[in-house]
Structure formats: C-alpha cells, structure tokens
Amino acid sequence: SIMNIRTKIDKLLFNPDGQVLAMASRYDKDQGFKLMHVPSQTVFSNWPTTKTPLNSVMSMDFSSNGEYLSVGNVKGKCLLYRLNYYANN
C-alpha cells in the first residue's frame, strides 16, 4: 500500500514507459498529489513541495516521451512541469 496520500485517490496515470505513477486526490489540495517510481515502489519526496502551487488537481497528463507533466487544477490553471530524469533520455 502507498501511505503518502491519506485521502481517496481519484486519479491515477502511468507515464509512457510505465516507470512513474502519478496519483491525485481532489479532496486534499495541499498533499493530494504524489509521483511514485514504480520499479522501486518509492514515492518521490522532493516534489511536489509545499510551495508547489498545485491546489486541487482535476486533470493530469504526461507528454509522449514522459519529459513533461501537465496538471490542471480546480482554479482553472494548467501547470507544466519538466521531469529532469527524462530530459536526457
């Protein structure tokens, strides 16, 4: 089990190569989004931080090569993040 999200998860999405799982809960605007490295079953602790302006996540998607992650929130904003691990692959 994944103990890092303590509310109902209503969105799950694998990146294109299946190594990263994005998990979101719209019920927790502060801690309701996590990324997990699937092979090691480790939740990334360095992102998102408390200063990442995600708010309540309503949608998310990875780019076709997995280098970018877009996140749409309840405030109507679409945020785009570069996943550095995939930038050089």
For 13-39, write each residue's pLDDT tens digit. 999 999 999 999 888 877 789 999 999
Residue 3, Cβ density class (10 Å: 0-12 exposed, 13-18 middle, ≥19 buried): exposed
Chain mean pLDDT for the chain: 88
Q: Model's pTM, two decimal places? A: 0.86
The pLDDT assigned to 78 comes to: 96
The pLDDT assigned to 84 comes to: 84
What H or E segment, with its residue span, contains residue 82?
Answer: strand 78-82
Handedness of CA 64, 54, 4, 84 (dihedral sign): positive
